[in-house]
Each structure stands twice: as C-alpha cells, then as structure tokens.
Amino acid sequence: MTSDDMAVSERALAWNELKARVGACQKCDLAHTRTNVVFGQGAVDTPLVFVGEGPGADEDAEGLAFVGKAGQLLTQILNAGGISRGDAFITNVVKCRPPNNRAPTPEEMMYCGDYLEAQLLLLSPKILVCLGNTPTRWILKTTEGITALRGRWFDWRGIAVLPMFHPSYLLRNDSRKKGSPKDQTWQDVQALKERLDQLRKEKRE
C-alpha cells in the first residue's frame, strides 16, 4: 500500500468514526426530538461543499440533507448552472431538526460546530457555499446579513467561501425580475461555476 493509499484509508476510517459519533450524539435537546440525525451526503472527494442551517421535516424523516422542496429547488438551480449536485457534499450547521423549523440556538450550533469543522477538515474542499444567514454568520463570524454578503467571495482557513440565499428564501420570493433574489442567485451560481471550472483547469495543468 502506498502512502497515498494509506492516507485515503485513514481518512475514510476517520470519516466513518465521525459519522458514528454524530449519529450517537446526545449533547443537546435536539437529540430528544429528532427522528434521524442528518449527517449530510454526496461526494467526499470533492472541491465543493454546501452548508445550510439545519434539517427540516423531510430531512428529519429521511435522514438526508436538502431533500424537501428547498432541496429540490437547489438541485434545479445547480443543474441550470451546469453544476451536478452529486459532485458536491451537502450538510448543515446542526445535524438534528430544530422543532418547528426554528433557527438553531447558539448553544446548539456550538455543540454541532465541532462536527461541521471536522467534516470540513476531512473533506478539504476548495469552495464552501453557505446557504443563508445561519451558516454564513457561523463560518465567517459576522453579524452582517446574507443580503449584504451574498455574491462576495471570502476566505476561511484557505477555503473560498461564497454566501448565497437559502433556497427556502427563494421559494418565498418567487420573482425572477432583475435584481430579485432569484436573479441574484443565478448570478452567484454562474460565479460558482466559473470558479469550479478554473479549479478543474488548474488541476489538469
């Protein structure tokens, strides 16, 4: 076994251990009301990770991230921009559903934040897309809102961070007029595709 093979094997072992740890977590009260832990899913050998706020009812029922209406819209938006959701990993700041889809509390995010950071350490993405206020503020440690931050690139520990509107927000704001949230999201997806294409080009060279 080569050193590269050993590194891959060790990373896979660490990933499985992390997944088991998250699945058994009882650190906060969300553990008492969840149906399933939502660890996240998708490609693990990927330059692209999406982070949302927390699981909703559909995600809690299925144990998968972004499978409800918001997740379906996200898939459509990415496909339209030439990005395959299957080529990315998608997760949330908190891994259990907050009751009534409320925003997670700072304490809940503190407990789950260690899990998210461990995921990002093991995935080592080049691009991190934060969907909505909660992950954007958590990752960038800012109080600014998503409207001010979306569409701008930031750096977090050497990873390029792109805040975007959460697809649930787009479901509530359906206009496609110039300057609307959907129009701005389309601009963001095009910028994301451009950055991904550049990464692939650099990898080939």
Domains of the chain: 3-204 (3.40.470.10)
Per-residue pLDDT of the chain (205 residues; tens, 9 = 90+): 676 776 788 999 999 999 999 999 999 999 999 999 999 999 999 999 999 999 999 999 999 999 999 999 999 999 999 999 999 999 999 999 999 999 999 999 999 999 999 999 999 999 999 999 999 999 999 999 999 999 999 999 999 999 999 999 999 998 889 999 999 999 999 999 999 999 989 888 7
Contact 62/8 with Cβ under 8 angstroms? no
Query: For residues 22 and 30, what is the distance between their CA atoms, to the nearest angstrom?
Result: 12
Query: For residues 137 and 142, what is the distance between their CA atoms, to the nearest angstrom?
Result: 5
What ranges make up the beta strands (E) of the chain? 41-42, 48-52, 89-92, 127-131, 154-156, 159-164
pLDDT of residue 149: 98
Other beta carbons within 10 angstroms of residue 94's beta carbon come to: 27
Element at 202 (helix H, strand E): helix 181-204
pLDDT of residue 151: 95
145, HSE (Cβ side, Cα atoms, 13 Å): 1
DSSP three-state, residue 82: coil
Query: For residues 101 and 104, what is the distance between their CA atoms, to the nearest angstrom?
Result: 9
Query: For residues 35 and 85, what is the distance between their CA atoms, to the nearest angstrom?
Result: 25
Query: Residue written as tokens 């805040």?
Result: 163
Which tokens is 110 given?
């503190």
Q: What is the pTM of this model?
A: 0.95
